[in-house]
């Protein structure tokens, strides 16, 4: 008989049970826009915000640009979000490390009490799903941009506007708690 050891270090992952933040109507909400700087990410986030302003009555934007696509917001920007945003949209998750960090940004903001949504590309879904599993929230939802668009968000103005229209409805539903599979608390 040969005895060997598990190499995965899984025992180190003391998983704390996490909850999503309570949802409220979006009218008057201050919307954090957490950009990772990938391609036209900032433009996309602003375009979605503009649609939310017109359709859901959100009040203002709190823009944050991360120093790198694969890291959290800077501590001072994190504080700005916690004190100045009622909901957050994070994006764009179009590469391996940006998609995974984007979904993590959204989850961490949920844990801090801010309803959030990540915009990610369809090609990155296996990585995004791995991240939600690792965090103990395998059913945490996100908004998907299909692979008819390039994943690196290197889009022209018309594509940015079109994608924003495509994702705005689901973004609103997830942030307000009206999407299927997630109820307002």
Binding site for another protein (CB under 8 A): 1-13, 15, 37-39, 67-72, 95-97, 99-101, 104, 124, 126-127, 129-131, 134-135, 151-152, 154
**CA atoms within 13 A of residue 158's CA, in its CB half-sphere:** 0
Strands 87-93 and 60-65: unpaired
Q: Indicate the length of the chain as a whole number.
A: 185
CB of 113 to another protein, least distance (A): 19
Judge residue 63's burial from the number of C-beta atoms within 10 Å of its C-beta, 0-12 exposed, 13-18 middle, 19 or more buried.
middle
| Nearest distance in Å: CB 127, another protein | 5
- For the bound state, the minimum distance from the C-beta of residue 86 to another protein, rounded and expressed in Å, comes to 25
Q: How far is the CB of 111 from another protein (least distance, A)?
A: 12
CB of 79 or CB of 185, closer to another protein = 79
The SS3 assignment for 65 reads strand
- The encoded tokens of residue 11 equal 């025992």
Q: Which is nearer to another protein, 3 or 158 (CB)?
A: 3
Nearest to another protein of 61, 144 (CB atom) = 144
Alpha-carbon span 7 to 185, nearest angstrom: 40
């Amino acid at each position: 008989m040969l005895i060997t050891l598990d190499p995965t270090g899984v025992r180190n992952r003391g998983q704390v049970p996490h909850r999503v933040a309570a949802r409220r109507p979006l009218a008057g909400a201050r919307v954090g826009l957490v950009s990772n700087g990938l391609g036209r990410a900032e433009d996309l986030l602003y375009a979605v915000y503009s649609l939310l302003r017109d359709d859901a009555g959100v009040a203002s934007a709190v823009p944050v640009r991360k120093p790198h696509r694969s890291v959290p917001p800077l501590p001072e920007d994190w504080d700005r979000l916690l004190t100045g945003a009622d909901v957050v949209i994070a994006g764009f998750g179009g590469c391996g490390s940006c998609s995974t960090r984007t979904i993590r940004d959204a989850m961490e903001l949920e844990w801090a009490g801010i309803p959030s949504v990540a915009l990610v590309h369809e090609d990155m879904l296996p990585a995004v799903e791995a991240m939600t599993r690792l965090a103990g929230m395998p059913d945490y939802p996100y908004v998907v941009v299909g692979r008819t668009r390039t994943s690196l968000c290197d889009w022209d103005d018309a594509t940015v506007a079109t994608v924003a229209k495509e994702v705005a409805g689901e973004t609103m539903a997830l942030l307000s708690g009206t999407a299927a599979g997630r109820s307002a608390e």
